Structure 1
Amino acid sequence: MNRKERRMDVPAKWVNPCGLAADDFEADQDVVQLSDDQLLAQVVVQAKTALMHAQLFRDDYIKEMFTTNFDDLHTSWKSNRYDWLPGLREIPKQLGEALSQDYLNKLEIRNLDTILLDTYEYMQIFAVGLEQIVWDQEDYNLRFQQQFQDTEFKLRTVLCELQVALIERAVPLRPDVPRSVMGPQFRNMTENTYRHLRDWLIFRDYMNGLEFIVQVFEHFRQVLES
């Protein structure tokens, strides 16, 4: 078994991101449960932290890999996306844009459990893509290995807060996203140009997903306050 095959058998970082034992999935009646507002606030804080981290090295990364700037790169590839990543139907906005007020108005607090589950799933899918970026950064000895490793860690923290929210609300979890969601044709890219573009589309959509979390859950917090 070669290195790439061994990697595919390593436990996925996005599965049980909090590292909870089986007993932790049972709600303890003696422990004070966090309010929905507190749960959502924790998710928003970690999503903002992860987004800020990504933005700190985004421009340097783009300059190094594409010899251009963010605005030009984003404009050039704005309409390109992978169908295995959450798309406009799931996250109806582009990076840097706000969700429409019409979309936010249609979100109902009674659907919070479903939205938490959906968001958890979206973030797990992004984690699959980021993992491959990290592996390729290592294999090709690229400059942004540490930044993308840190990105994986930040995403895991976001996933942990989503996991906590779901457990606190006693929501049964869906099956975890498998590595196979990202097919071999997307993993085994030897041509630098295609691989760099693949990494940008994943990284871009991941940042957009974080913006989505912040906007949706801050909207729910406002609804809860009112």
Structure 2
Amino acid sequence: MRLVIARCSVDYIGRLRAHLPLAVRLLMVKADGSVLIHSDGGSYKPLNWMSPPATLRVTAPSDDDAETGVIETWNVQSAKTDDKLVISIYERFSETSHDLGVDPGLIKDGVEADLQRLLAEQITKLGEGFTLIRREYMTAIGPVDILARDASGTTVAVELKRRGDIDGVEQLTRYLELLNRDPLLAPVKGVFAAQQIKPQARVLANDRGIECLTLDYDAMRGVDDSESRLF
């Protein structure tokens, strides 16, 4: 991972256009090819980013750029679309690089771990004819909660959350991009499963062809009979 703190401006050019005016920011370049721009506020989310796979090309300033104070320009080109991220660097304060190695992934506890175990045991909640391949299917960027096959034999990757939000959909999208590169698994479909799924997450999932599934945790544990409810 490469971390650069610099005074910069950022332009996203593509289906949507966005501009970040000149300010000091953290530029993060990950080994998977993603590039993220962070500020010192706004919680954990980047101000802008380019998802992998992408190509980073650094160019020296032209005469016109030099007159404005730009010392170098980063051109980040998506490998899948025409979208491009252009980062104009005016001053660099620090730069470090670290090899983080392979991450073991998030070790889940409590409800999420129980949901994973219960859904693996009750895999037909995904649909009739579903069979389990395995839980915690390891990839280069972390474990997929459940890998299964549907009645037609198509591989299905399932991401489980207690509360499903946009970040969970993004996480599953990254897994699907990676899994679909494996000819032994492709094509791989996605299912985003949670006790509650936020409307924005559902819209994003549907837009990306990911199925959403709401899980009744108590019913799966056998402590609640949903059929005997009055409402």
TM-score surpassing 0.5? no
Q: Hey, which of these two has a bigger chunk of strand by percent?
A: 2
Larger RCO (CA under 8 A, 6+ residues apart): 1
TM-score (norm 1): 0.24
More helix by share: 1
> Normalising to structure 2: TM-score of the pair?
0.24
